[in-house]
Structure 1
Amino acid sequence: MSPDRRLPYPDDVLAHRPRLGLRIAKLRRAARLSQDGLAERAFVSRQSIMRWENGTRDPRYLDLVALAAALDVTVSELVDLDADLVR
């Protein structure tokens, strides 16, 4: 019998998905990129960008690295979800 793949995330963790999605979308627009353009630069599909921005999926770590490079920000800046609250 194989172990459970993963336990469900708690609600407070899942609450970060939409905030990260908004952050990705904001940085993408600031870089004047379409979802297609960002997808091409980050070597992912447009559907992935759409899902991340909509908060229905989480990017994997290497996708975050590729997104940050494509948006010309650091991974820390990309995932700094409090940055939008301060500015």
Structure 2
Amino acid sequence: MSRRRTPRPDWVIDRRRLLGHRIADLRRQAELSQEQLANLAGMERRSIQRYENAQRDPQFSDLLLIAHALRVHVSDLLHSEQPHDGV
């Protein structure tokens, strides 16, 4: 697997962190554990954990599966009340 030549900008890291918090908040609102969400989404619990902890960037298809399992639109995962740069 190839590595990035330049590190990701801070604002990208911040948005990944916000996405993780958003997934965790929606999961808790749905009264689901990470294991339950993973099962509903057809994923490994470890993937949910890594996304919530901003350790990995989810693929778009994973976002679709998570949103479907949480019964929200994928844009609800990406929505944030925080101001952001460029996106």
Name the TM-score, length of structure 1 as normaliser: 0.84
Q: Which structure 1 residue ranges, 4+ long, deviate > 2 Å from structure 2?
A: 4-8
After TM superposition, list the pairs within 5 Å mapping 1:54-69 onto structure 2: 54-69=53-68
Pick the structure with greater CA Rg: 1
In the alignment, structure 2 segments of 5+ residues that lack a partner are 83-87
CA RMSD of aligned residues (A): 1.4
Letter of the structure 2 residue corresponding to residue 30 of structure 1: Q
Does 2:71 align with 1:72?
A: yes
2:35 aligned residue: 36
Query: SS in structure 1 opposite 2:55?
Result: coil
The aligned length equals: 80
Sequence identity (%):
50
- Structure that is richer in helix per residue: 1
Give the Cα separation in 1 of the matches to 2:21 and 2:3: 28
CA drift at 1:27:
0.2
Name the TM-score, length of structure 2 as normaliser: 0.84
